[in-house]
């Protein structure tokens, strides 16, 4: 069977099954999108956001890229963030990385990987900022796992510096930024305990209005 035709056949079976379980499923889904969550995750095919969190379509707004990075000049990610916060009024933005991330692995090495090297350069800078911690670890596996965590934490920090997030907080909007990491080895998500929900967490130099 043609690989693409198999996907189309799978889709028909899924749609039929969904209607059998709930005849109003697609009608309801078509008329509203009210997610409480924005998920910023890695493009890795082993980390499907809705599936690993047990949420149905329509319950999570999703943006994914290599190594779950929030760049200050990535208008794709920033546009998704703005729409999620200002239009959908999500209450939670979750940056979720994963152990075994190939983007983090590439950033820790010196091989030439093409355009992606520019994308993941930020991770190298995070590595340098935590050089002493990295040097204290005996194995590459431990360093890699820790870098996956530190990369998530760095992206949480980057999110807090965005105008969209700061504007929401300044206006009293309920919004919390979270940092999680998923294990592809056992399927469990770990909360990195870096929840942030106010301007006070940001150095004044980055604030839109440092007096607030």
**Contact, 165 vs 159, CB < 8 A?**
yes
Active-site residue list: 42, 44, 46, 98, 101
pLDDT digits (tens, 9 = 90+) for 66-118: 999 999 999 999 999 999 999 999 999 999 999 999 999 999 999 999 999 99
- Helix, strand, coil tally for the chain in percent (to 5): 50, 15, 35
- Unique residue bearing structure tokens 């028909």: 12
**Edge-to-edge order in the sheet of strand 60-65:** 60-65, 37-42, 92-98, 176-182, 189-191
Rounded to two decimals, the pTM is 0.93
Domains of the chain, with CATH numbers? 1-30 (no CATH), 33-198 (3.40.1050.10)
Crossing angle between the packed helical segments 75-82 and 163-170, to the nearest 10 degrees: 20
Q: How many other CB atoms are found less than 10 A from the CB of residue 48?
A: 12
How far is residue 138's CA from residue 44's CA, in Å, rounded to a whole number? Answer: 27
pLDDT, residue 32, reads 74
Quick: pLDDT tens for 118-169. 999 999 999 999 999 999 999 999 999 999 999 999 999 999 999 999 999 9
The burial class, CB within 10 Å (0-12 / 13-18 / 19+), for 182 is buried
């Amino acid at each position: 069977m043609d690989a693409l035709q198999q996907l189309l056949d799978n889709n028909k079976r899924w749609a039929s099954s969904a209607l059998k379980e709930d005849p109003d499923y697609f009608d309801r889904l078509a008329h509203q999108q009210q997610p409480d969550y924005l998920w910023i995750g890695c493009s890795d095919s082993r980390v499907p956001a809705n599936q690993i969190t047990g949420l149905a379509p329509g319950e999570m707004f999703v943006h994914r890229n290599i190594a779950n990075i929030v760049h200050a000049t990535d208008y794709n990610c920033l546009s998704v963030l703005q729409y999620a916060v200002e239009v959908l009024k999500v209450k939670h933005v979750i940056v979720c990385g994963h152990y075994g991330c190939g983007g983090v692995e590439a950033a820790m090495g010196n091989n030439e990987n093409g355009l992606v090297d520019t994308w993941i350069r930020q991770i190298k800078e995070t590595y340098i900022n935590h050089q002493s911690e990295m040097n204290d670890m005996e194995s590459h596996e431990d360093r890699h796992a820790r870098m996956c965590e530190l990369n998530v934490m760095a992206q949480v920090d980057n999110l807090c510096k965005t105008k969209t997030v700061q504007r929401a907080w300044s206006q009293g909007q309920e919004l919390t930024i979270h940092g999680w990491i998923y294990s592809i080895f056992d399927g469990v998500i770990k909360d990195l305990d870096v929840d942030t929900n106010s301007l006070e967490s940001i150095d004044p130099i980055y604030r839109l209005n440092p007096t607030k």
